[in-house]
Amino acid sequence: MRTYRLVIACPDRVGIVAKVSNFLASYNGWITEASHHSDSQSGWFFMRHEIRADTLPFGIEAFREAFAPIAEAFSMVWRITDTDQKKRVVLMASRESHCLADLLHRWHSNELDCDIPCVISNHNDLRSMVEWHGIPFFHVPVDPKDKQPAFAEVSRLVKEHTADVVVLARYMQILPPDLCQEYAQQVINIHHSFLPSFVGAKPYHQASLRGVKLIGATCHYVTEELDAGPIIEQDVVRVSHSDSIDDMVRFGRDVEKMVLARGLRYHLEDRVLVHGNKTVVFN
C-alpha cells in the first residue's frame, strides 16, 4: 500500500499533535501508523506519521504546499516522503564480504525497499558477487600517499548515480571531511564495536585485551569525527575468557550484519530523526 511518511521535529509545546491530526483529518487522510516522542532534556518533540496516499485529494507537492503554514507556525524541521519513490542506496565495501553479501541478499529477496544503482570498492575482490546480482561494480583504488583523487571519483560516482544514501558496508577507509559535510546524515557506517568503546582499528583485539564479556556492533551516521556520529542501532553478543580473537571476529560478523541491516531499514523507512548528535528511532 502506497503511503506518505510525514516526519517532524520541533520545539515542544501544546497542540502539535492536534494541529497535525486536524490537518490530515480535514483532507480525509487515513493515518496507518503514528509515533510521538517528547524529549524533556532538549525540549523538542518528534513525530512520524504514515498516511495512506489514496485517501488524500492531492499529491506530495500539493501536500508540502498545504502543510507549510503549519510547519512555519510551529518552527518544524520536517519532511514528507512517498513510498512509491524508492531511495537509491550506493554500497561501498573493501575486501570483507559479510555485510555487503547480507545487504545484497536482502535486496535480492525484496526485504529492503530500495534501489542499488552501484557498488564502489577500493579492491576488486567482491566484483563477481556484486555483478551476479546485476549491479554495476566500480573499482576505485585508494593510494595511501594521495587519497584525494580516489575520493573525488567516489564523489563523482555518488552524484552520477543520484544516491539518497551511501552505506559503508565494511569500507575500510576514512572519508575526508568535505565528503562527510556534503553528505551529512546520508552516509551510514557499520563499526565492529559497541561504541563509544574501542573506536578505530582492530576493536576485537582491543576488546580481547580488555577482557570484556560483551562485544557488539554499531550502525551510525558518518561525521568528521571518527566513529562518533549519531547512533542508529546497536547490538551485542556475550563472550568469555575462553574465546579467542578469531572467535570474537566470527561472533561479531553476525552482529554486524544484523545491526547494519536494521539501521539501513530504519533509515529507508524514515524512522530516524537526528537531533544534535543523538537520534530518535521509531522502530
Listed by start position, the domains of the chain span: 3-82, 87-281
For residue 200, pLDDT beyond 80: no
Local confidence band at 211 (pLDDT 50, 70, 90 cut-offs) = confident
Domain 87-281, CATH 3.40.50.620 — does that match?
no
In the numeric block, the cell 510521538 is attached to 36
The pTM (predicted TM-score) of the whole model is 0.94
Local confidence band at 212 (pLDDT 50, 70, 90 cut-offs) = confident
Tens-place pLDDT, residues 128-145: 999 999 999 999 999 999
Q: Are 221 and 179 in contact (CB under 8 A)?
A: no
CA distance linking residue 185 with residue 251, whole number of Å: 28
Question: Catalytic residue among 54, 227, 235, 247, which?
Answer: 227
Tens-place pLDDT, residues 79-95: 999 999 999 999 999 99
**Which amino acid makes up residue 99?**
C
Could you give the C-alpha distances from 171 to 104, 142, 167, 175, 261, in angstroms and in order? 15, 12, 9, 10, 15
Tens-place pLDDT, residues 109-119: 999 999 999 99
Q: Are 122 and 173 in contact (CB under 8 A)?
A: yes
| Catalytic residue check, 247 | no
Q: What is the pLDDT of residue 196?
A: 74
- Which CATH architecture describes the domain 3-82? 2-Layer Sandwich (3.30)
